[in-house]
């Protein structure tokens, strides 16, 4: 746990907790070109990304962000295809998960199969993770080439392109602001996660 936190802390710039007031250029960055029509809170990730795994399974950033969101505000997660040999297949598989509403069932198993056990080496292996997580094989197969899934794949790709995504994990609010982990207080894991969630809520509430 300590090593994981030190690895994360290494990618961010620590500063005094007294400087924790949320401000543009520190905890978030205003985009030069806002993108209309994006989900209110949008997180990009990859099952190949070690920091994404830490955000999800060690720090539980997404869970803490969702707890802070006002009622009626939904957080959307998009997978990126530019990492790993099966990046495109995993993006399509994530679209299947969204279409079937099984994101929560498959997130941890996919992260572990890709990064921990490294048992995902083909599209068939991805399908097996879904089936092992309780998704019917026929439902997965029917969704895989469906219009809905193709649309969701295109949606994920377009959002990454429109927002000029450079890397993951990344979170955007209202297509106007990007969360900036480099400006967060890293004095402890709890403080970092709290400030991250507070920043998202601040931007959601921002008029």
> Before 169, cis peptide (omega within 30)?
yes
Q: Are 149 and 143 in contact (CB under 8 A)?
A: yes
Q: Are 191 and 185 in contact (CB under 8 A)?
A: yes
Q: How confident is the model at residue 131 (pLDDT cuts 50, 70, 90)?
A: very high
Rg from Cα positions in the chain:
17
Q: pLDDT tens, 60-117?
A: 999 999 999 999 999 999 999 999 999 999 999 999 999 999 999 999 999 999 999 9
Q: Are 202 and 73 in contact (CB under 8 A)?
A: no
Give the tokens for residue 191. 């403080």
Q: Are 2 and 8 in contact (CB under 8 A)?
A: no
Q: Are 91 and 153 in contact (CB under 8 A)?
A: yes
Q: pLDDT tens, 144-190?
A: 999 999 999 999 999 999 999 999 999 999 999 999 999 999 999 99
For the chain, domain boundaries: 26-203
Give the sign of the dihedral formed by CA 86, CA 155, CA 33, CA 73: negative
CATH of 26-203, one of 1.10.287.3510, 3.40.50.261, 1.20.1250.20, 3.40.30.10: 3.40.30.10
């Amino acid at each position: 746990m300590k090593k994981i936190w030190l690895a994360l802390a290494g990618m961010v710039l620590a500063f005094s907790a007294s400087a924790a007031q949320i401000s543009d250029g520190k905890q978030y960055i205003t985009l030069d070109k806002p993108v209309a029509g994006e989900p209110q809170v949008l997180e990009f990730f990859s099952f190949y990304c070690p920091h994404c795994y830490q955000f999800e399974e060690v720090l539980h950033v997404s869970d803490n962000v969702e707890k802070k969101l006002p009622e009626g505000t939904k957080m959307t997660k998009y997978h990126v295809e530019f990492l790993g040999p099966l990046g495109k297949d995993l993006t399509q598989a994530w679209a299947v998960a969204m279409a079937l509403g099984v994101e929560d069932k498959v997130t941890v198993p996919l992260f572990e199969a890709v990064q921990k056990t490294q048992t995902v080496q083909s599209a068939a292996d991805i399908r097996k993770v879904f089936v092992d997580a309780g998704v019917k094989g026929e439902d997965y197969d029917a969704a895989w080439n469906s219009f809905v899934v193709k649309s969701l794949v295109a949606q994920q790709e377009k959002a990454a392109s429109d927002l000029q995504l450079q890397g993951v994990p990344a979170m955007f609010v209202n297509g106007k602001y990007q969360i900036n982990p480099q400006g967060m207080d890293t004095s402890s894991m709890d403080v970092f996660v709290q400030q991250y969630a507070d920043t998202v809520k601040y931007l959601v509430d921002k008029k």
